[in-house]
Structure 1
Amino acid sequence: MNRAKNLQRLQNEMFDICIIGGGASGAGCALDAALRGFKVALIEKNDFASETSSKSTKLIHGGVRYLEQAFKNLDFAQLKQVKHGLEERQIVLQNAPHLARPLPLLTPVFSWFEGLYFTIGLRMYDFFAKGDSLPKSRWLSKKETMLRMPTLNAKKLHSAVLYFDGQLDDARYCLALAHAADEAGVAVVNYAELLDFKVDGSKKLTEAVVKSLTNGESCAIKANLFINCTGAFADTVRLKANPKLTKRIRPSKGVHVVLPYEVLKSEDAMLIPKTSDGRVVFAIPFEGQLLLGTTDTDYRDIDKEPILEEQEVDFLLDTLTRYLAKRPDRSQVKAGFGGLRPLLAASESASTKKLVRDHEVEHDELSNLVSLLGGKWTTYRYMAQDTIDKVCELLGVERECKTTNHVLVGGE
C-alpha cells in the first residue's frame, strides 16, 4: 500500500463512497464496495485496527452465551445472531487460512448434570453450524480432560465438554482486509483524521475535511456518499454530520490479561461459562502466551483510552482460579489491554451485558450519512454486505456482493 500515492488520490479525485474508520467494519465495507465496482476512499484516524478491532478475544464464533440466552429468554434476536455468527465463522476461516484456524475449547464441569447441560447446549450449537468444516462437540472423561489440560483441579473435576470455534489474529486480519481493498483499487490512507463535513444547500454531505497526522496538511475528500464505520466512536461522526441526531452507541469496556502459557499448559482454550458478572470468560493460547478475558462494564468517557485496572486483574484471576490446581500469581501477569464494544442500546438503563451484539445500518435522510452501528468481529463481512446493499439502494444501482469467496492477501 502506497500511502503518499493514495493521499494524492484523496486530494484530486471524486469518489462514489468515502468510508470513515479503518477497523474490521470499515476495511470490510471498502473491500466489498470496491469488488462491486465502486470508486472508494478509506480513511483511518490512527492505524488500521488500532481500536476495538485489535482488542478482541481473537475468537470467531457464533456465541455460546447468546445461544443459552436465546432459549432461556425466548429471545429470537439472540438466535439470529448465533446463526449469522456461525455462517460467517466458516467464511472467515476459508478466506484467510494463514490468519485464522479452528480452535478446540474445553468447558470443565463438576457434576454429571452440568456435563449433560453443556453437552445438550453444544449439540444445538453444532446443529446451527451444520455443513461447516469444524469437528463436532463431545463429552470428555476426566482422564481425557486432564491429558488435554493438566493444570486443572483434578480433585473437583468431573469431566469436560469439548467443542470447536475459530481463532484469528485480529489486527493482522484487519490489515489484510485493508490491503485487499487497496489491491481492489481503494484509496486507503491511515493517520488521516476527520475534522468536519461540508454540505450543500439541502444539508447533504458533499466533502469530508481530513487532516493528515503525518504532516499536518488538510484536504477535502469529495464523494457521493459517506459511510461511518467508527465503532464505539460512531456517535461523534453522526453528530458532526447532523447535530440533531440522538446518540445510539453504549460503549462497553472489556479487558484481557496476558499470562504465561504454562498457566494452562494446553493447546486447547477454556470456556468458563459462569462468572460473578454474568458473562463468560475465555482462557486462550495465543502467540505462545495465554490470553484471559473478558469483562463487561459500562464506559462513558470514550476520549480516554480504556486501560487494565487492578480490580479487573483480580476478577479475571479469581475467575480462572476456581478451575486450576494452582492459583496464578499476580506477578505472572505480563501485559493487559482494554477495548470498547460498540453496543447498540434501546435505552440508557439497559445493562451492557444484556445487549445483543447485532448491527444496524442507519441512513440519516437529512445529511445522507450511512452509519454501520454495533456488530462484532465474526460478522464483519455480513455487516459490510448489509451496508453496501444499502448504498446500492441509495445510489439506485444493483450490484452483487462478491466477498463470500474472496481470499485475502496472503491467503492464496
Structure 2
Amino acid sequence: MFSNKERTHYLQTMHEELYDLVIIGGGITGVGVALDAVTRGLKVALVEMQDFAEGTSSRSTKLVHGGLRYLKQAQVKEVAELGRERAIVYENAPHVTTPLWMLLPFYEGGTFQKTTTALGLTVYDLLAGVKRSERRTMLSKEDVLTRVPMLREQGLLGGGMYVEYRTDDARLTIEVAKAAAERGAKLINYAKAVRIDERNVAFTSVYVQDTLHGNEYQLKAKSVVNAAGPWVDEVRQLVEPVEGKHLVLTKGVHIVVSHDAFPLDQPVYFDNADGRMIFAIPREGKVYIGTTDTFYEEAAERVQATDEDVMYLLQAVAYMFPSVGLTKDQIESTWAGVRPLVHKEGKDPSEISRKDEIWHTGQRVITIAGGKLTGYRKMAQSVVDEVVKSMHLTAGKCITKHLPLSGGDLNGSKFFEQYVDTWTKRGVTHGFTEEESEALVRWYGTNVAQVMSYEHETSDLPAPLYASLRYSIDYEMAATPVDFFVRRRGMIYFDIASVERYASAVMDVMAEQLSYSDEERSRYTQQLEQAIAEAKVYE
C-alpha cells in the first residue's frame, strides 16, 4: 500500500537507509526522476514539503501539449521532442490522456494565416510524429462557423484542426508517483527538506521535517536531485548562496464556467487581441479558459487569481466570442499557478524558454528547473543520466519510454476502449451504474478493480465517491480532504458544488481511516474551507 497510514514507518525506514538518490520535490519532474531512477536499479527516496503535485503540477492548462506555439518562435527541436513525448505519455497512460481535436481559427491580420497555418500544422505533424489518423485538416470559414457559431465572424478566413491530449495534471503526477512506489522507491508527502549537509565524504545528509507531526529525520544519500519547482532556489540556499543562474516565476490563471453560460462544445486555441494564445476547452459540463502569463514576485504558495487576471480572460472571451457575454458572477472556480523558468535578461514572460536546464549545486546536489509537463519523462532521463555519470553510480539504461504508468497496464492505448467496455459491465456487478462504472474506469484505468472492491459503508457519500476516497487513502497517499478534492479527483475546479455538499462526509471518513486528532480535524477543515474560498473568489 502507498498510504499515509504507514507514514511513521516510511519515515523511520527512510531514516535508517543509505540511498543512491534522494529527490527533493514531488511534482511531475521529481516523481518522473524517481520512476526513471528506480527502474534503473537505484535505491531512491523522494520527499515533498506539501502534497504531491500541489505546486505547478496541479495548476497547468491540463494538456499534454504538443508545443505548437513554439513553431512561432522557430523552436523546431522543442516541437519535435514534445510531440514524441506526448505520444509516449498517451501510450503509457491512456486513462489520463484523451485525444482532443482542437480548432485553430485564423483571421485577417492575425498571428496565424491560411497558408502559414496549413504549413505550420503540416510541419508540426511531421516534427511531432503525429499518427496519420490525427493529422491536421483545414477548414473553410463556413466549416469553422458550423462547428463554433459563436466565434467572431469579422475577418475570419478559416481554421485548422489538430489533435492535443487533454489530461488531469495532478492525476498524471500521482500515477507516475505510484508507478515509482510500486517498483520500490520511497516517496513521502508533507516532508520538508530543512537542511542539507555535504560534509561527510561518504554521503550527503538531507534533514527532513514531517510537517504533519513535527518530527525530524535524517536521510543519507550518495546524490541529491533538487526538483523543487518554484522552490528550487530555496533548496539551493540550503547548500550554497544563489548566484548567477536563478529562477523567475510567471503566473498562469484559468477560470471555469458552466457549459450553460458558455455553450462551447469544440475546444478552441485562439489568438487574443494582444497576440497571446488562449485555450477555451469544454470538460465535464464546464468550460475552462486560460491562461495568463505575467511575472510573479510573491511567495509561490500564495498565488491566486486577481481581478486583473480574470478581466484579461473575460476580455479574451469577449474578443473571440462576442455573443457570449461572460461576466464575473458566472465564474464557478479559478486556479492559479506559477511556472518556474530560468531567468533570461530582457525577456517578456511569454518569450522566456520553457526548456529545462540542469546544473550542479554544491558537491552532490543536481538541480533541474524549467521544462513542461509533457516533457517530464525525457527530463527525468537526462537528470538520472547526469546523476549516474557525475556520481559514478552503477545503473541500467532508461526503460521508461515503454513503461506503463500505474493504471496503464494495457499494452498500449489501442486496448483502452475495450477495457472500458469490459469494466463498465463488471462495475454493475459491484453495485455501480454503467455511467458510474465508466467514469471510474476512465479515471483509474487498470486500477479500477481495486477501487471497485471497497464496499459502500456510508449513505452520506455516493458509492463512486466513497470508493475513490478509500482508494486515495490506501493507495495514493491522500492525507487531507484538500488532497482528495483537489489533487486526487480535481473536483474543486470542475464540480465545486459536490465538494461543498460532501465535505463533511469526506472529513468523517478520512478522520476515521487516518485517526485524526481533534486538532488535525479542525486544521484540515479550515484548509478545505480556505481552498473552496480561493477557488470561488469570484462567485
User: Normalising by the residue count of structure 1, what TM-score does the alignment of the two structures yield?
Assistant: 0.92
- Deviation beyond 6 Å, 4+ runs, structure 1: none
Deviation (angstroms), 1:354: 1.1
Partner of 1:384: 380
CA 169–330 in structure 1, closer or farther in 2 if over 3 Å, else same: same
- Pair 134,231 (structure 1): closer, same or farther in 2 beyond 3 Å: farther
Inter-partner Cα distance in structure 1 for 2:299 and 2:245: 13
Task: Tell whether the 8 Å contact from 1:111 to 1:159 is kept in structure 2 after alignment.
Answer: no
* 2:389 alignment counterpart: 393
The residue type equivalent to 2:368 in the other structure is L
Q: What is the distance in 2 between the residues matched to 1:131 and 1:27? A: 27
In terms of Rg, which structure is larger?
Answer: 2
Structure showing the higher strand proportion among its residues: 1
1:173/1:134 CA distance change after superposition, 3 Å: farther
> What are the equivalent positions in structure 2 for 1:120-135 lying under 5 Å apart?
120-130=119-129, 132=131, 135=134
- Kindly tell me: are residues 201 and 40 of structure 1, through their superposed partners in 2, closer, same or farther at Cα, counting changes over 3 Å? closer
**Other-structure match for 1:74:** none
Aligned to 1:142: 141
Aligned equivalents of 1:133 and 1:101: distance in 2? 17
Q: How far did residue 115 of structure 1 move?
A: 2.6
CA distance in structure 1 between the aligned counterparts of 2:273 and 2:289, rounded to whole angstroms = 13
Percent identity, aligned pairs only, is: 35
Counterpart for residue 250 of structure 2: 252
2:46 alignment partner, one of 42, 48, 73:
42
1:293 is matched with which residue: 290, 293, 296?
290
For 1:386, what is the secondary structure of its paired residue?
A: helix
* Residue 274 (structure 1) shift: 3.8
Q: 1:27 and 1:264 mapped to 2: Cα distance? A: 36
Partner of 2:160: 161
Look up the match of 1:24.
Answer: 28
Corresponding residue for 2:204?
Answer: 206
Amino acid at match of 2:250: S
User: Could you say which residue in structure 2 is the equivalent of 1:80?
Assistant: 77
Deviations 1:131-162 (A, max 9, x none): 53661111113343233223324566443221
Q: Tell me by how many angstroms 1:273 deviates.
A: 2.4
Note the 1:46-57 alignment, pairs <5 A. Answer: 46-57=50-61
Normalized per residue, the structure richer in helix is 2
Q: Quick check: 1:148–1:266 contact (8 Å CA) kept in 2?
A: no
Cα 1:174–1:209, aligned 2, differ >3 Å: closer, same or farther?
same
- The 5 Å alignment of 1:262-411 reads 262-276=260-274, 278-303=275-300, 305-324=302-321, 325-347=323-345, 349-364=346-361, 366-396=362-392, 397-411=394-408
SS in 1 for 2:176: helix
Mark the runs of 5 or more structure 1 residues left unpaired by the alignment: 71-77
Q: 8 Å contact 1:229–1:372 — kept in the other structure?
A: yes
Deviation of the 1:254 alpha carbon: 0.9
* C-alpha contact (below 8 Å) 1:31/1:177 kept by paired residues: yes
- Does residue 9 (structure 1) correspond to residue 5 (structure 2)? The answer is no
**What's the secondary structure of 2:316's corresponding residue?**
helix
Residue 196 (structure 1) aligned with residue 195 (structure 2)? yes
Q: Deviations over 1:148-193 (max 9, x none)?
A: 2233245664432211111111111100011111001011100001
CA drift at 1:130: 2.6
Q: Per the alignment, do residues 249 and 388 of structure 1 end up closer, same or farther by CA in structure 2, a change over 3 Å counting?
A: same
SS at match of 1:404: helix
- 1:241 aligns to what SS in structure 2? coil
Structure number with higher relative contact order (C-alpha < 8 Å, ≥ 6 residues apart): 1
CA spacing shift, 1:131–1:314, aligned 2, 3 Å: closer
Select which of 86, 90, 94 maps to 2:91: 94
Q: Secondary structure at the match of 1:356?
A: coil
* Structure 1 pair 289–163 and aligned structure 2 pair: CA distance change class (3 A): same
Shift of 1:118: 1.8
Distance 1:328 1:399, change over 3 A: same
- Measured in 2, the distance between the counterparts of 1:372 and 1:360 equals 6
CA distance in 2, matches of 1:244, 1:231: 15
Whether the 8 Å CA contact 1:257–1:336 is kept in 2: the answer is: yes
Distance in 1 (alpha carbons) for counterparts of 2:364 and 2:133: 42
Shift of 1:247: 4.6
1:51 aligned partner, one-letter code? G
Summarize the Cα distance change of 1:242–1:155 in structure 2 as closer, same or farther, 3 Å threshold: closer
Q: 1:271 to 1:362 in 2, by over 3 A?
A: same
CA distance in 2, matches of 1:239, 1:162: 46
CA displacement 1:339-368 (0-9 Å, x = unmatched): 111111233x3322211110111123x332
Pairwise CA RMSD: 2.0
SS at match of 1:235: helix
Query: CA distance change for structure 1 residues 30 and 304 in 2, over 3 Å: closer, same or farther?
Result: closer
- Normalising to structure 2: TM-score of the pair? 0.71
